């Protein structure tokens, strides 16, 4: 078993990394003084037993996959397992600031090890559930400080790999998240080589934690529903800001401000507001384009609570469209209502895509579809909120089904027949034991503002 006294481990490591009394004493005093009040004012999002249950489920998945140790580098997965969250993870800075830090779990040990720098100790241990925090610092080799010579990128790789080897955690198969954006390829190759040199066998386990966190607890679903509420708040704020002469950025700012005033956090993808001739660019960023009467305005956003995302998208008309355009726009919510009325827990993704295609053909809009599909939602950090599991009309969905605890978005996006725009309709979908919920309250019918 690992030493779970993170405070003792921190002070011990910190004393080794400072040579003058001033910096050491000041930092120690700061951590000792601020930690208790920070934990009281900004506690971890979940109680300790929920995190520890997640560790057990991941270790069970590791055992089934024959992975002895898992090194988690994905920020969303680290947050899921510990509550740890930061504004940045060294992934886009100078080469020397490599994204080496991460969370190690071993199939035979109850407590994972979080590796990071002393700068992040307070965030990790006060606002997260991190019983074992190991400090990565510039250190000379000592008896108390494991090392890994020739590991590359200096002290970070050497400290992490050396520590894991000293713990006996590298004797089996080590799972890495090769398909994650973090760390970058250059460092990932160095880190993997160091693990192999230390005796480990390495395999890809990119989606192992993500698959475990697909099935959400009741408290997680409570957070998702709060994110849904915040998304509705943001959409109302955006709609109120849509007026001739306003810019897309002002619409985005109004949505963001409205959500922040009620406890909403910044989303993993920057705000998407697209209007007029830009309205068919669904992934375009909000710009300085000035809104004009006659515009259709597409808004795609997430409400966010404790990093849990709920996706909502609507098309708002600035001024009343002509009758033909309104008739075309009305077919998308008609499709939504008809298909979602038939969704049930246990329904296969294959049945969902077949149902959507059949009804879209009956409505005469199948050939105009941009995308009908959905993907996992949950904890997310920049640069993306898209999860690992999805369904998409026109693609083979395999044998996946809607299972209780799943949360996905569901998109119904169509080009208008005359090519003038795209109408967006995206909702969050929550699967419980009894039903498939679409909890957003903001109107799915066309909203017209003057």
Domains in the chain with CATH codes: 6-212 (3.40.350.10), 218-449 (3.90.230.10)
> Is residue 429 within 8 Å of 407, Cβ to Cβ?
yes
* Phi (first) and psi of residue 201, to 5 degrees: -100, 135
d(CA 208, CA 212): 7
Identify the helix (H) or strand (E) that includes residue 355: helix 349-362
pLDDT (0 to 100) of residue 420: 85
* Phi (first) and psi of residue 337, to 5 degrees: -65, -40
d(CA 267, CA 385): 8
- Say which residue the tokens 């934990």 belong to: 39
- Say which residue the tokens 């089904």 belong to: 401
**Other Cβ atoms closer than 10 A to 7:** 14
- Say which residue the tokens 């994204």 belong to: 99
> Is residue 373 within 8 Å of 391, Cβ to Cβ?
yes
Residue 183 preceded by cis peptide, ω within 30: yes
> Which tens digits make up the pLDDT trace of 262-305?
999 999 999 899 999 999 998 999 999 999 999 999 999 999 99
pLDDT (0 to 100) of residue 137: 63
Strand partners, 113: 104
Nearest to 310 by CA among 383, 225, 435: 225
pLDDT (0 to 100) of residue 28: 66
Sign (positive or negative) of CA dihedral 289, 292, 295, 296: positive
pLDDT (0 to 100) of residue 295: 97
> Is residue 318 within 8 Å of 243, Cβ to Cβ?
yes
Sign (positive or negative) of CA dihedral 58, 59, 62, 64: negative
pTM metric for this prediction: 0.91
**217 half-sphere exposure, CB direction, 13 A CA radius:** 12
> Is residue 421 within 8 Å of 279, Cβ to Cβ?
yes
List all residues 6 or more positions away from 447 whose beta carbon is below 8 Å from its beta carbon. Answer: 239, 314, 316, 317
Low-confidence ranges of the chain (pLDDT < 70): 1-28, 137-154
């Amino acid at each position: 078993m690992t030493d779970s006294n993170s405070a003792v481990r921190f002070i011990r490591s910190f004393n080794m990394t400072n040579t003058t009394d001033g910096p050491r004493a000041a930092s120690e005093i700061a951590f000792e003084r601020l930690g208790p009040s920070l934990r009281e004012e900004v506690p971890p999002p979940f109680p300790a037993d929920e995190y520890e249950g997640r560790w057990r489920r991941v270790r069970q998945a590791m055992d089934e996959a024959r992975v002895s140790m898992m090194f988690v580098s994905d920020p969303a997965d680290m947050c899921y397992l510990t509550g740890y969250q930061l504004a940045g993870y060294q992934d886009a800075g100078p080469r020397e600031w490599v994204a080496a830090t991460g969370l190690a779990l071993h199939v035979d040990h109850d407590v994972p090890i979080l590796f990071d720098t002393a700068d992040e100790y307070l965030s990790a241990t006060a606002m997260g559930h991190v019983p074992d925090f190991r400090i990565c610092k510039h250190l000379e080799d000592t008896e108390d400080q494991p090392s890994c010579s020739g590991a590359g990128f200096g002290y970070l790789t050497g400290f992490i790999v050396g520590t894991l080897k000293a713990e006996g955690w590298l004797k089996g198969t080590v799972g890495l998240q090769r398909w994650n954006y973090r760390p970058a390829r250059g460092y990932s190759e160095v880190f993997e080589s160091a693990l192999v040199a230390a005796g480990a066998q390495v395999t890809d386990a990119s989606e192992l934690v993500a698959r475990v966190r697909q099935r959400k607890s009741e408290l997680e679903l409570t957070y998702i529903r709060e994110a849904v509420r915040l998304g509705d708040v943001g959409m109302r704020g955006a709609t109120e800001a849509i007026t001739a002469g306003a810019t897309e950025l002002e619409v985005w700012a109004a949505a963001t401000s409205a959500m922040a005033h009620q406890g909403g956090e910044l989303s993993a993808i920057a705000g998407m507001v697209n209007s007029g001739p830009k309205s068919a660019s669904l992934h375009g960023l909000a710009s300085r384009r000035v809104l004009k009467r006659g515009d259709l305005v597409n808004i795609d956003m997430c409400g966010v609570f404790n990093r849990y995302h709920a996706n909502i998208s609507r098309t708002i008309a600035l001024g009343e469209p002509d009758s033909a355009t309104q008739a075309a726009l009305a077919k998308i919510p008609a499709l939504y209502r008809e298909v979602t009325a038939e969704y049930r827990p246990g329904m296969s993704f294959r049945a969902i895509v077949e149902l959507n295609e059949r009804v879209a053909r009956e409505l005469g809009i199948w050939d105009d579809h941009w995308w009908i599909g959905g993907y996992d939602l949950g904890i997310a950090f920049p640069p993306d909120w898209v999860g690992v599991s999805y369904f998409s009309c026109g693609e083979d969905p395999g044998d996946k089904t809607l299972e209780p605890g799943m949360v996905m978005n569901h998109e119904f996006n169509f080009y208008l027949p005359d090519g003038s725009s795209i109408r967006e309709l995206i909702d969050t979908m929550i699967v419980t034991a009894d039903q498939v919920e679409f909890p957003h309250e903001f109107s799915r019918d066309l909203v017209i503002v003057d």
